[in-house]
Amino acid sequence: MKDEMGVTAGSAAPEVAIQEIPTVAGAEPLLGSSASSKETVSEIEGNGVRAKFNRGRRRLQGWRAGASICATAVGTVLAVNILLVIIAAATNAGSTGGLATIQSGDCTKSQNLDTWLHLLINVLSTMLLASSNYCMQCLSSPTREDVDKAHARGKWLDVGIHSIRNLGSIPLFRLLLWSLLALSSVPIHLLFNSTLLLTRSSNEYALFVGSPLLLTGDGIDWSKPIGHFLSLGYHTMYFDQDSTAYDPPPVDQFREIASWDNLTNEACIKAYSEKYLVGRGDLVLITPNLNASVPMLIAREVTGFHTASNIADDWRCNAYSGLACTTDALLANPFAWKLNDTLALGWNVTYSQQYDIQYCLSQSLPERCTVQLSYTLMGAVIACNIVKLLCMLSMLRQRRFGPLITIGDAIESFMVKKDPTTQNMCLADKAAFKNQNWQHLAKPWLRKRRFWFASASIKRWGLCNLSSILTIVIAGVLLGQGLGEAKMSPSTTFSTSGFGTINTDLMANDQSSLSELSLVGATVVANSPQFLLSILFLGFNSLYTCMLLADEWNGYAHERKPLRVSQPSWKQRSTYFLQLPYRYGVPLMIISILLHWLLSESLFLARVTVYSRAGKEDTDNSISTIGYSLIPLVVVIALGCTTVLAGLLNGFRRYKPGIPLAGSCSAAISAACHTPENDIHASEKPVMWGVVGTNKDGIGHCSFSSLEVFSPKQGESYAGL
C-alpha cells in the first residue's frame, strides 16, 4: 500500500527516499523531458509539501467527486419531478382518473408546452441514465484486492469500462447496489416520457344544407322543423337513439347563423377534412338549390373522428363525379363542389338531388386540448428516482472502497505494487490471457498496426451492432407501415405528420377507451423503444470507451506523459468523467438526448377526447392508443444510422505500433508494469513504456518507467529482468 507521502509500504523512511530521487533522476534522464537539477532540488524541497497538497486534492477528486455530482444530479431530477407534481396539483384545472390537468384550452399552446416539457423530460432521463451508468461502472470496477484474487485463480477483470464480467468478482453489497441501479432504470425508460400526456380534442358535429335566405330571414318560417336528406331515412348508422335526427329541431335554433364563420369552399374542405375537428362544430353548406319553403336540411351527424377505416368524411364527395374521394381531388376544383342526396331501393336509384355548394357557415367552438400529468406514472418514476439516490448515497458511505476506475489507476497500482502472477510476461497482450494461458516465457517483439476494432471483443461489437440494426429495422417498419396506412402521397403524409402530431391514419388498430389500465398498457408499449435506445446508448458508450482506452494506452509507447488517474498525486493528471474524453462523451450525451426526444415525438401515447354536440365527453368514441409521426421518425433513422456509421468508421482507424494491445484486461496491464527497482515514485512522474534494460542472459525487459526507455526491436525476445 502507498501512504500519502507516496512511499511504498515496507520501504525505507521518507528521508532515505528523498536522497535516492536525485541519484536516479541524475543517472537516467527522462526521454523527451529536460530533468534539470533545478527540478530535482525543487522536488526534494517540496516533498514535505506534497503530502499536504495531495491530501487537499484527494478530498475533492476521484470517484467520490464524480459520484457526488451524480447524486446531486439525481437529487435535482427528483426535486424537479416533485415540483411538477406540486404544480399540477396547484393549477387545479381539473383532475380525473389519476390525471391532473396542467394546461387546458388552446391546442397550439398545449402542443408547444407538451413539446418543451418532453424535451425537459428527456434531458432529465439522460441525466439519470448517465449518473446511473457512472455509479454502476464504479461499483463494477475492481479494487486491487479483487484483481489480485482473480489473478491468483488465473482469471482477469476489466478495468476502465462498464463490465458485466466483473460482477461475479465483486462483494455482494456492491452487486446489490449495482442491481438496484440497473432495475430502477427500467420503469424510468418505460414510463417517464408518458408521465405528461397531451390529449387532443375532437368535436362531433351535424352537417346541414341551407339556403342563403337563412342569413337575411326573408320568407323563412322559423317555426318549421328542419328537413332531412331522404338518403338518411330514420335508420342510419350515423344516428343513435338520442340523436336529434329523430326529432328535428325547428329552424329557429339557427336564427343566429349569420354570426358563424363564413368559409370559402376551399377553406371549408380543408377544415372539415382534418382527422380530428378542433375549434369547430356544426356546419351549414349554403346552396342556391333550397328556397324559403325548405330553407334547411340535415344531411348527417358525424360522430367520433375520421380514420382510414371509416367514412365519416365521405359526405364531401359527389357520388357520381367519378373522382376519387380525397382532399386533393376536391381542392383541385373547389368551385365545382356538389353534394348529392340519393335514395336507393335495392339496386335502383329512385331519387337523386344535387346541391351546388357556394360557401360554408361554420360554428366556432373553444378548443379543449389538455396537458395532463399522470400521478400513477410519475409516482413510479419518483419511487425509482429515490431508489437511485439512496443507492448513490450508500455507495458514497463506503469508506474503504478504492476501485481502479481508469487505466491510469491500474497502471499506478501495478507500478507501486508489482503483480507476481504476470512476471516475465511484459509482451503479453489481451489475447494471451483470453484462454487462461498465462505463460511466463520470453516472447519476440512483432510490430503490428492494430485496428481500433481490436480494442473491444467480437461479442461486444456484435451485440451493439445487432441492437443498432434491430432499432433501425423497427423504425423502418413503422415508417413503411405509416406510409401504407396513410393512403396518400408521401409528401402529403410528411406535411401532416410532424413532431408529436396525431394523424389518425397512423394509429395502432387496437384503440382502447381512456381508462387507467389502457393508459399504463399503451405507455409501456409506446416507450419500449426508449428502453432499447438506452441499451444502445450504453453499448456505444462502452465501445467508444474501449477504443479510446486503448488509444490512451497506446500513446504511452510514443510520448512521455503523466498518468491520468482518479486521485492525482504530484505530476499526475486528473481523470475525465470516467474513461471517456469530453470530446466524445459530451457529443454522445447530446445525441442520446436528441434521439430520446425525437423518439418520444415519433412514437407516443395518442389520446383523443371526443365531445358531443352538447359539449359532453363522448367516452365511447374517445381513445387511448399508440400514435406515430413520420417526420421525426425519419430524423431518428437518419441520426441513428449516422451514429452507427461513425462508430464503425472509428473502428477502421489504426493504432500506432509500439506496445501490446492490453485493452481493458487487468492481466495485460499488470504484465506491462513491472517497473525497475531503482525507479522510485515512478507512477507520480511522467512515464513511458519501452525497453528498460536486459538481464544477464541478454533478454530485454519492457515496462512503464519514468527513466529512459527505448523502443523494442523487431524479432528480439523480451521477458523480465
Phi, psi at 402, each rounded to 5°: -125, 75
Q: What whole-number distance in Å separates Cα of residue 653 and Cα of residue 156?
A: 27
* Model confidence band, residue 242 (pLDDT cutoffs 50, 70, 90): very low
388's CB contacts (< 8 A; 6+ apart) are: 74, 128, 131, 132, 180, 181, 184
Per-residue confidence (pLDDT) for residue 31, from 0 to 100: 37
**Rg of the chain taking only CA atoms, in angstroms:** 36
Helix axes 375-396, 63-91, angle to 10 degrees: 160
**pLDDT beyond 80 at 251:** no
* More confident: 215 or 231: 215
Instruction: Answer for the pair 2, 570: CB distance below 8 angstroms, yes or no.
Output: no
What average pLDDT does this structure show over 645-670?
91
Q: Are strands 99-105 and 369-374 parallel, antiparallel or unpaired?
A: antiparallel
Cell numbers at 719, concatenated = 521477458
Looking at 332-425, which runs of residues are DSSP E strands?
A: 338-345, 348-356, 359-364, 369-374
Round to whole Å and give the CA distance between 634 and 185. Answer: 27
> At residue 15, does pLDDT exceed 60?
no
Q: What is the DSSP letter of 659?
A: S
Pair type for strands 205-210 and 280-286 = parallel
Three-state SS at 287: coil
Residue bearing the bigger pLDDT, 500 or 464? 464
Rounded to whole angstroms, the Cα distance separating 697 from 691 reads 15
Report the C-alpha gap between 565 and 567 in whole angstroms.
6
Checking phi first, is residue 10 left (phi over 0); if not, alpha (psi -120 to 50) or beta?
left
Under DSSP, the state recorded for 420 is G
Phi-psi region of 349 (alpha: psi -120 to 50; beta: other; left: phi over 0): beta
pLDDT category, 575, cuts 50, 70, 90? low
Q: Once rounded to an integer, what is the mean pLDDT over residues 688-697?
A: 88
Summarised one tens digit per residue, pLDDT across range 428-456 is: 888 888 776 788 888 888 888 889 988 88
Concatenated DSSP letters for 425-451?
-TT--HHHHHTT------EE------B
Return the percent helix, strand and coil in the chain, to nearest 5.
45, 15, 35
Q: What is the pLDDT of residues 543-560, one digit of tens each?
A: 888 999 999 999 999 999
62 backbone φψ class: left, alpha, beta (φ>0; ψ -120 to 50): left
Mean pLDDT score, 453-468: 85
Strand 717-719 versus strand 261-263 pairing type? unpaired
The Cα–Cα gap between 459 and 461 comes to 5
Q: Strand 573-574 to strand 603-611: parallel, antiparallel, or no bridges (unpaired)?
A: unpaired
In this structure, are residues 284 and 210 in contact, taking their beta carbons and an 8 Å threshold?
Answer: yes
**Which single residue is written with the C-alpha cell 468523467?**
577
pLDDT, tens only, 343-373: 444 444 445 678 889 999 999 999 888 898 9
How far is the CA of 608 from the CAs of 265, 368, 620, in angstroms? 27, 11, 11
Q: Which amino acid makes up residue 349?
A: V
What share of the chain has pLDDT > 70, as a percent? 77
Q: Distance between CA atoms of 39 and 45, rounded to whole angstroms?
A: 10
pLDDT tens, residue by residue, 476-490: 887 777 666 555 444
562/557 Cα distance (integer angstroms): 13
Amino acid at 568: P
For the cut 50, the answer to whether the pLDDT of residue 19 exceeds it is no
Beta-carbon contacts of residue 218 (< 8 Å; ≥ 6 apart): 292
Residues 699-711: tens digit of each pLDDT: 899 999 999 999 9
Instruction: Check whether 332 has a pLDDT greater than 70.
Output: yes
Question: H or E stretch including 284?
Answer: strand 280-286
Query: How confident is the model at residue 14, as a pLDDT?
Result: 35
Average pLDDT over residues 85-92: 84
Q: Is the pLDDT of residue 513 over 60?
A: no
